[in-house]
Structure 1
Amino acid sequence: MNRKIAQLFQPRLQLYFVCLIVFALLSALYSVPLAVTELVIVLGLGLYNRENSRRRRREIGKYLDSVTGTVDTATKDTMVNSPLPMIIFRPESDDIIWTNDRFLQLTGQGQREHMFDAKLASLIPGFDTRWLMEGKSECPTEVEYGGRRFWVFGHLVRTGGRGGGFLATTYWVDITEFCLIRDKFNASRPVAAVLLIDNYEDLMKNLTENERSSILAEIDNRLDEWVAQTGGLLRRYQRERYLFLFEEQYLDQFVERKFDVLDTVHQVVNPSGINASLSIGIGKDGDSYKELMSFANLSIDMALSRGGDQAVIRNKFTFEFYGGRSKETEKRTKVKSRVMANALSSLISDSSQVFIMGHKFPDNDAVGAAAGVCALCRKNGTPAHIIRDPGSPPAQELIDRLSTLPEYQDCFLAPQDALLIADTRSLAVVVDTNRPEQVQAEELLQSCNRVAVIDHHRRAATYIEGAALNYHEPYASSASELVTELLQYIMEPNQLLRAEAEALLAGIVLDTKNFTMRTGGRTFEAAAFLRRSGADTAEVKKLFQNDLAGTIAKYSIIQNARLYRDHIAVAVSSAPVNRVVAAQAADELLNIIGIDTSFVLSKDGEQVNISGRSMGETNVQVILEQLGGGGNAAAAGGQVTGKSLEEVAAELAQAIDRYLDS
């Protein structure tokens, strides 16, 4: 290498000597003595240049050797005496090649001169080196060893050409003090919580002042015991609301105990036998107290929209849910329904057109609710369009019935056509879902400036935000029931088309399982209004008839069902089946003695559909939320993409175990 570098400093004179020799030979044609003299001179100059070049190469070589030796010495000295622990190893075999003194001290091997016979995995268990093979120069996680924490940096070099292996060099930076300060800061960050006695009205109903004071005092005592260990601030700021401020280090303890204060407060019973119910909304990771309170209020709203009696944590990105297993109690008032009816009517009147959409693959409840909103639009003289998915959804027969009516000739639109005619004054009304990723046309939802949501499902972590009107009642049986309640305050029974009344009644029948599940007094009032509007129960019954193949498929699913944990039926259908058939099979399984919960899994293209049903004791929504689904406590569903039936069945079993064991 030194010779090559030295040659770069040498002048290239060979061409000149060749020319001189040629001229000397040509001179022989005129004078031989002159030519001989020239050759002697050229030879002398050549010998002198050769000797001079050798001398220059020797001097350059000595200089390069001295510089190289100095660099090598400095490099070796730097590596050996580096203030950072260093280690060189082979990532494919985990063999240690070399370590400096600092690393030997770090690992407690300071008395040894080398560790060539050791494996890195045995020396530092749990240290994953895949990040080096992935081309990264920094370990993605902190490494903890010997009570200290480190950032690890490194790089790979290839040895022996393309066919050779790799050598990895890593540098360990001690960040223990930084981590301690960071952890202390994170542990002391403030957390805001809003505690709400969510059945306060029922709890205090028909009680004397002494009895009310006694119950509130008992609740206060239980809350004081719960917060005592935190040193936090707990204050009641409304008759049924409390504000709780504490440090984040205590939040993990609450989560670990799964907010046992919910059960503690539930043990408080009034003279009428009603148990107290508590909901907790927690805000964390806020940049200010204002943002923390905003997160806490969002959490308490989310808890109430999911039925209450639970704790919800909101951070900057998502929600976390704890509890929520008790059955919802109806808290709707007719005052709220009247206010919502007038507000929705005003929104429709001020809009240029209304786009109505339900969830993907709409069922009778979604289409029935959409038909009810369409009737309201007709009452206000506003054009209305119902978004229609391509293909054949579960409510196809109901859609076909409505499509034959003159009032619905141009009503159904594809999502792409709706986008083309939407303007700044368009209103989007979403029924039977509150999750933006589940609507039939998410692009249309985002393009509309004004949105109204009418839904009865419990809220999930994602929901439609910023809606101009949000009529969300998880205590209602169906979206059709909610829409029917709104219609009662705006329309007379004779103003509703018979087909529309039957569509709404079909939605109620579907979600109440023929008025046997999730029914309240308001449900029968809505059904009575629809009956006065001309709904024929016989025609509604026809909407739920199956063909022979569907009936055989349903009972085939039931035949293959297996018991899990003694009271849960799980049926896995290897053959593709219609969603409606799968849901009916899940309902039918609840008619078997000893079964109070059922799940049906079926393949649908690249995804696996899950239908969950419960008699009320088991909250199937909480179970299926672990698999990305949602719904209500008694009826829920979900879709899992990219996994086989067996894998989804195993994940469902784990979700059931986690729910029951906790």
Structure 2
Amino acid sequence: MNRKLARLFQPSFQLYFVCLVLFALISAFFSIPLAVVELAAILALAVYSRQHTNRCRREIARYLENVTGTVDTATKDTMANSPLPMIIFRPESDDIIWTNDRFLQLTGEREHLFDAKLSALIPGFDSRWLMEGKTECPTEVEYGSRRFLVFGHLVRTGGRSGGFLATTYWVDVTEFSLIRERYQATRPVAAVLLLDNYDELMKNLTENQRSALVSEIDSRLDEWVAESGGMLRRYQRERYLFIFDEQYLAKFIENKFDILDAIHQVVNPSGINATLSIGVGKDGETYRELFQFANLSIDMALSRGGDQAVIRNKFTFEFYGGRSKETEKRTKVKSRVMANALSALVSDSSQVFIMGHRSPDNDCLGAAAGVCALCRKNGVPVHIIKEAAPPPAQELIDRLSPLPEYQDCFLTAQEALLIADSRSLTVVVDTNRPDQVQAAELLESCNRVAVIDHHRRAATYIEGAALNYHEPYASSASEMVTELLQYIVEPNQILRSEAEALLAGIVLDTKNFTMRTGGRTFEAAAFLRRSGADTAEVKKLYQNDLADTVAKYALIQNAQLYRDHIALAVSPQPVNRIIAAQAADELLNIMGIDTSFVVAPDGDKVNLSARSMGDTNVQVILEKLGGGGNAAAAGGQVSGQSVDEVAQALKEAIDQYFEK
């Protein structure tokens, strides 16, 4: 028996005997016979102690051997007769060392699998999770028609320099897994189907023509939903509710919601194609929550231009379609209602903070100047958030700052936070994404927020706004603010510089009234002209110096054709966002080019500018790279990548867009 283990069970008497011998030697100075007797007694005690110790050691050894043998027997019996299949193998070489009978029954083998390879026996099994220190396989393992959860652990053999042995236990979860899959496949999904242009389709049609048109649309919808066995019901004249099992959603996605194309083939006698938007809600705890998700999805689809499908789960949105050209669907009734609502919201506020997207351009600042005019009409103090670095609209800021009405108007985000109170109103213009605003902390601290934007909505947007005036069909945020001003202020109550700022914003986003213009765009421009805007002064805002002009045409010179109709310009030299955007605009003037992309470094980031005058939706493409905008004009910035890497990612995004 191990001496260390013996010492744990037996006390040591050596010190006591040493003391007794010393006392016996000392007593010899007084009496020799007494010392001899003491030594004899000590010797007898030593002999007895030695015999007793040896006997105890033998009894302890027999007990430990009995216990160890019993445990070994129980362990071996447990492993051999375990109700769970077990296998011991070497993870380095995949060699099987031992299996119990349950595992043999699982594999259909009659003899032990000595010298066999586990990977050859069960090809789908990967033991890397054991080497990573995990005790449970992260995925289910399929073998034959059964599915297993595998648990295990490693044991080192032969000391530190030796290898490992892995012991695994296989738990059959086939029935549970099938029930789980069945549950997931049969979870309800709610979808709201909306005919985007119902009014335009039915306009000036007879009752028979309307019935025939609705009947054709219903027939195509019934054919689309028939295979799913779901329930389709129309609950408003242009809205349908579709409830079906989740297992059919994957097929709809695989077919890219081909019902959108099928409905688009329906044409009324006036030659107008029908368009459909689909909002899908999934992963809801209740039917009410599913319907809420579906309504959020349909709102998102409409805010992105319609004619597309949007899926909303608990966390995010997924987008399908949305490549058709946007058609103007605004009404003056909505503009008038929004104008009155914004005026009332401003009047009820202690002060107003206006901010746009980071690096605000002329459209962003023009819309902010228009909101300032509205606030001045209502007698409410107003401030515009400024950035430390000069933005693209710096020249417009320089024109407004000296005006008496704009004294102390421009504040930094930190200064605004110091004076903000519970009745402060934050107006966000020219963006709807919280991650792109100039002062995210100010947006989060104010509980009263209004949003005015014309960009197609992305998956992340400002939620819970007291007023959300979102029109993806408008040319610019400046146009939207100008429409609001027409119902609140008179032309002579707008400063000339404010009118020119608003007109500059419209000119910027319409490319001198050549892109994304409608009748409302020219009405807004006419109102600004009556308010004193000078088109010559607006033109001066877009003059470039010689260096910027050379940089712009250097970009154009380096452009290359991609997919026969796309101009792609990649600049190795730093170029600011304004020049990149102007180069993208200029590339559309080349015959045969209907889409342009510019990739250029700007400090530690890479700028992306995209323009389209055809059917290509550049926003959908740049969303893959974190950008945004609208169908005809989009942009973005990428950090942490080189120009070549961004250009390659852009090409992949373009290829994915056209492949779909």
Within the alignment, does 1:654 sit opposite 2:652 as a pair? Answer: yes
Counterpart mapping for 1:577-656 below 5 A: 577-656=575-654
Counterpart residue number, 1:331: 329
Counterpart residue number, 2:272: 274
Whichever residue aligns with residue 9 of structure 1, its letter is: F
Cα distance, 1:178–1:396 mapped onto 2, change above 3 Å? same
Counterpart residue number, 2:53: 53
Distance 1:400 1:510 in 2: 18
Counterpart residue number, 1:386: 384
User: How much has 1:335 moved relative to structure 2?
Assistant: 0.9
Counterpart residue number, 2:466: 468
Distance 1:365 1:553 in 2: 23
- CA displacement 1:269-322 (0-9 Å, x = unmatched): 111110011111111111111111111111111111111111111111111111
Q: Tell me if structure 1 keeps the 8 A contact 2:98–2:112.
A: no
Whichever residue aligns with residue 393 of structure 1, its letter is: P
Aligned-partner SS, 1:517: coil
Match of 2:440 among 439, 442, 457: 442
Distance 1:364 1:438 in 2: 16
Counterpart residue number, 2:43: 43
Q: Tell me if structure 2 keeps the 8 A contact 1:616–1:633.
A: no
Counterpart residue number, 1:261: 259
Distance 1:265 1:647 in 2: 39
Cα distance, 1:514–1:420 mapped onto 2, change above 3 Å? same
Distance 2:548 2:242 in 1: 55
- CA displacement 1:189-223 (0-9 Å, x = unmatched): 11111111110111111111111111111111111
Which has the larger displacement, 176-185 or 6-15?
6-15
- CA displacement 1:552-590 (0-9 Å, x = unmatched): 222222222222211112222222210111111111111
Whichever residue aligns with residue 383 of structure 2, its letter is: H
Counterpart mapping for 1:416-455 below 5 A: 416-455=414-453
Q: Tell me if structure 2 keeps the 8 A contact 1:561–1:572.
A: yes
Distance 1:655 1:101 in 2: 54
User: How much has 1:602 moved relative to structure 2?
Assistant: 1.9
Whichever residue aligns with residue 86 of structure 2, its letter is: M
Distance 1:221 1:51 in 2: 104
Q: Tell me if structure 2 keeps the 8 A contact 1:585–1:600.
A: yes
Within the alignment, does 1:113 sit opposite 2:105 as a pair? Answer: no
Q: Tell me if structure 2 keeps the 8 A contact 1:194–1:296.
A: yes
Q: Tell me if structure 2 keeps the 8 A contact 1:233–1:244.
A: yes
Whichever residue aligns with residue 554 of structure 2, its letter is: S
Q: Tell me if structure 2 keeps the 8 A contact 1:2–1:64.
A: no
Aligned-partner SS, 2:598: strand
Cα distance, 1:204–1:553 mapped onto 2, change above 3 Å? same
Q: Tell me if structure 1 keeps the 8 A contact 2:190–2:241.
A: yes
Counterpart residue number, 1:21: 21
User: How much has 1:91 moved relative to structure 2?
Assistant: 4.1
Cα distance, 1:283–1:401 mapped onto 2, change above 3 Å? same
Q: Tell me if structure 2 keeps the 8 A contact 1:432–1:455.
A: yes
Distance 2:568 2:122 in 1: 45
Counterpart residue number, 2:147: 149
Aligned-partner SS, 1:327: coil
Distance 1:146 1:227 in 2: 35
- For these two proteins, the number of residue pairs brought into alignment is 660
Cα distance, 1:560–1:177 mapped onto 2, change above 3 Å? same
Match of 1:222 among 204, 220, 223: 220
Cα distance, 1:440–1:156 mapped onto 2, change above 3 Å? farther
User: How much has 1:33 moved relative to structure 2?
Assistant: 2.5
Which has the larger displacement, 379-388 or 155-164?
155-164
Whichever residue aligns with residue 526 of structure 1, its letter is: A
Counterpart residue number, 1:489: 487
- CA displacement 1:90-113 (0-9 Å, x = unmatched): 4455454444343344344x2341
Aligned-partner SS, 1:8: helix
Cα distance, 1:496–1:92 mapped onto 2, change above 3 Å? farther
Distance 1:270 1:514 in 2: 34
Aligned-partner SS, 2:113: coil
User: How much has 1:127 moved relative to structure 2?
Assistant: 3.7
Q: Tell me if structure 2 keeps the 8 A contact 1:424–1:448.
A: yes
Counterpart residue number, 2:7: 7
Counterpart residue number, 1:409: 407
Whichever residue aligns with residue 528 of structure 1, its letter is: A
Aligned-partner SS, 1:400: helix
Cα distance, 1:565–1:418 mapped onto 2, change above 3 Å? same
Q: Tell me if structure 1 keeps the 8 A contact 2:96–2:113.
A: no
Distance 1:590 1:128 in 2: 53
Q: Tell me if structure 2 keeps the 8 A contact 1:550–1:581.
A: yes
- Structure 1: 5+ residue stretches without partners: none
Aligned-partner SS, 2:654: helix
Cα distance, 1:406–1:87 mapped onto 2, change above 3 Å? farther
Which has the larger displacement, 401-410 or 150-159?
150-159
Q: Tell me if structure 2 keeps the 8 A contact 1:3–1:61.
A: no
Whichever residue aligns with residue 374 of structure 1, its letter is: C
Cα distance, 1:396–1:152 mapped onto 2, change above 3 Å? farther
Q: Tell me if structure 1 keeps the 8 A contact 2:99–2:112.
A: no
Counterpart residue number, 1:183: 181
TM-score, normalised to structure 1, is 0.96
Cα distance, 1:588–1:348 mapped onto 2, change above 3 Å? same
Q: Tell me if structure 2 keeps the 8 A contact 1:430–1:453.
A: yes
Aligned-partner SS, 1:331: coil
User: How much has 1:163 moved relative to structure 2?
Assistant: 5.1
Distance 1:523 1:105 in 2: 78
Distance 1:124 1:639 in 2: 47
Q: Tell me if structure 1 keeps the 8 A contact 2:124–2:142.
A: no
- Structure 2: 5+ residue stretches without partners: none
Distance 1:130 1:323 in 2: 41
- CA displacement 1:397-450 (0-9 Å, x = unmatched): 212221122211211111111111111100010100111111111111111111
Whichever residue aligns with residue 43 of structure 1, its letter is: L
Within the alignment, does 1:520 sit opposite 2:518 as a pair? Answer: yes
Which has the larger displacement, 182-191 or 469-478?
182-191
Cα distance, 1:306–1:409 mapped onto 2, change above 3 Å? same
Whichever residue aligns with residue 516 of structure 1, its letter is: T
- CA displacement 1:626-650 (0-9 Å, x = unmatched): 2222110111122223223232222
User: How much has 1:29 moved relative to structure 2?
Assistant: 1.1
Cα distance, 1:609–1:94 mapped onto 2, change above 3 Å? farther
Distance 1:613 1:115 in 2: 67
Match of 1:241 among 231, 239, 242: 239
- CA displacement 1:151-192 (0-9 Å, x = unmatched): 222334444555555444332222111111111111111111
User: How much has 1:9 moved relative to structure 2?
Assistant: 1.6
User: How much has 1:530 moved relative to structure 2?
Assistant: 0.9
Cα distance, 1:98–1:269 mapped onto 2, change above 3 Å? same
Counterpart residue number, 1:204: 202
Distance 1:107 1:643 in 2: 50
Match of 1:355 among 350, 353, 356: 353
Distance 1:315 1:567 in 2: 37
Whichever residue aligns with residue 47 of structure 1, its letter is: V
User: How much has 1:63 moved relative to structure 2?
Assistant: 0.5
Distance 1:454 1:576 in 2: 32
User: How much has 1:394 moved relative to structure 2?
Assistant: 1.5
Distance 1:115 1:407 in 2: 91
Aligned-partner SS, 1:193: strand
TM-score, normalised to structure 2, is 0.97
Distance 1:640 1:89 in 2: 48
Match of 1:340 among 335, 338, 345: 338
Distance 2:581 2:162 in 1: 59
- Give aligned-pair identity as a percent: 79
Whichever residue aligns with residue 502 of structure 1, its letter is: E
Cα distance, 1:67–1:3 mapped onto 2, change above 3 Å? farther
Q: Tell me if structure 2 keeps the 8 A contact 1:283–1:294.
A: yes
Cα distance, 1:578–1:178 mapped onto 2, change above 3 Å? same
